[in-house]
Structures are given as structure tokens and as C-alpha cells.
Structure 1
Amino acid sequence: MLCLPYLLSSARQGEATSPLILAKPPAQLGREQLRHIIIGSPEGVRGAINHLHLLNYAEQLQWSKLFTIPESGIVITPEQGEVFSYLLRYRQLR
């Protein structure tokens, strides 16, 4: 079953300054939702997605298309009680 992404752009047609909004998908009984975000260069993001695929963690087709982050940034709206963890890693440029 594909886990479809729930990224909504609040930008109007031709307006590049509104943020992207990450909406929470509907809950499924007996399953916890974990929202994964990979931010970096297009090559770095694709590389991380490919690596997670090789580790049998997530199929490449389950990820959304790549979205360009607008100058105003992105907005993530958590639910009460949710937490956030951030990992910064570096990749070698070729």
C-alpha cells in the first residue's frame, strides 16, 4: 500500500513566497503515523531516498515528487503531544 504524501502548497498561482504546508493524513486504526522529511539538494535527497530503498525501509515510489522550498520556508503543524527530532548528516560531493 502506498503512503501518499500530504504536501499542500498555500501559494497562489504564480506566487512563490507562500510556504508549503505539511498536512497530517487521516489516521489508520492500530498504526502510528511517522512523517519523514528529507531536505537538501535534489541530488542529496534522491540519494537518501535511494539509500532508504536499498535498506528496504521505504519504496522509492512512496515518496512525493521533489518540491522546491519557497523563500518563505515551510510550515509543519504537529499534533498535541508529537515530538520532533533532527539529524544533520553530510554527504561527499562528487
Structure 2
Amino acid sequence: MGLQGLFSSGFTRPAALLRGTCPLCKETRTMFQSSNPDNANTPKQQPAPLPEYQFEPVRHILLGSLTAIRNTITLLHKLNYAEPNDWSKPLPTGRPNEVMAILTKKIRVD
């Protein structure tokens, strides 16, 4: 059954939808019309362009025991500097009880 069949068989839309009446304020308007009548005829303003900044990559290298590396990464996360998942996995350095973690972060340069 098509739409014509639905409407002819007794199914009706709510009156507010047929007339374009807002159910909250009871104001009749066409769809997508501004809710503020004073702004109905004013041209829309374009948003201001965002400033463009230069960014440079900075590489942070942590060297130390696995515990010290994990604690430092946690501290930098608490300070909102870097997410823990942004760091590399701890990599062995070849020295006893020493690992390395690397973070590359883009820093704004004015």
C-alpha cells in the first residue's frame, strides 16, 4: 500500500506537522525558517577564519628502568601533555635494566 492508501484509509498526520506549527511555542512557520523573526531578513555572517600556525615535530626520548619510564609517562598524562598511547612501546637499549620510550609531538611555533 502506498502513501495515498495510508492517508485514504484513515491514517492522518498530527495537525502540528501538517501546518508547520511548533508544538512548544504554537508558532506557525515553514520548515527551516529562523525562529527569531528579527533575524529573518538579515544576511548570514560567515565565521571568522581560524588563524594558521606553524608546527614543528619535537621528539622526546625517555631512558631509564621500565618502572621509571611508566611513572614518567603517567605523570605527563596527568599534566595533560601527552596520551600514554602516543608513546612507543618500551624498547631495550642494550644496557642492563634500561629501556627507552619515544614520543613525537607537534609543537606550535609562533
Q: TM-score by structure 2 length?
A: 0.37
Q: Which has the higher contact order (CA 8 A, sep 6+)?
A: 1
Larger Rg: 2
Q: TM-score by structure 1 length?
A: 0.43
Relative to its length, the structure with more strand (as a share) is 2
